[in-house]
Structure 1
């Protein structure tokens, strides 16, 4: 089964300079283990590669039922120096939610 991330979760974003943070929260807490398994830092980095030039670090926050990604070296200097909206955290969060997930078993 193929689903887009936005069908399972929503995302909050923040940015400071050329670092963006993206927090992903499943709509259903039962989908958290699936997100932990499927939504790796490498997959997020690959999906956002045209906008993020550096490392993506993932933090698991099970008590909040969330995954938190810190994206380094946002292209064009990020929110404080770029005139392009593409590198703002809110735009990156929308882009992340378009990530396709191929799921054999949802649980």
Structure 2
């Protein structure tokens, strides 16, 4: 199962810092996301792009995690030669992360 099966994401940027929020579609999936989407795993995923620290902030009241990635945008929007200087595609890449399969109840039609 992919992270995108149980969550959606938003991104933002400020200078050379990118942040990605991961929000569970269903609050029941938040503990799974919290357990398996760690700062280390995100840093490993983006090792070619993120050259600084990755910090994770938990927001259980809305079933979300926020990752702040420093030195992630090639110097920032005004300096980067990257096609995606704002880092918007990073959210899609994070949502491709493999997650453990979980048993889901069958819902009646």
Q: Give me the TM-score of the superposition, normalised by structure 2.
A: 0.85
Shift of 1:50: 1.3
Shift of 1:97: 1.0
- Aligned residue pairs, count: 104
Query: Which structure ranks higher in relative contact order (CA pairs < 8 Å, sequence separation ≥ 6)?
Result: 1
Write out aligned runs for 1:1-107 (5 A): 3-101=1-99, 103=100, 105=102
What CA distance in whole angstroms lies between the structure 2 residues aligned with 1:79 and 1:92?
14
What are the ranges of 5 or more consecutive residues in structure 1 without an aligned counterpart?
Answer: none
Structure number with higher helix proportion: 1
Any conservation in 2 of the 1:11–1:25 contact (CA below 8 Å)? yes
Larger Rg: 2
Shift of 1:84: 1.2
Instruction: Find runs of 4+ consecutive structure 1 residues off by over 4 angstroms.
Output: 104-107
CA RMSD of aligned residues (A): 1.7
Q: Give me the TM-score of the superposition, normalised by structure 1.
A: 0.87
Any conservation in 2 of the 1:85–1:91 contact (CA below 8 Å)? no
What CA distance in whole angstroms lies between the structure 1 residues aligned with 2:92 and 2:78?
19
Shift of 1:90: 1.0
Shift of 1:65: 1.3
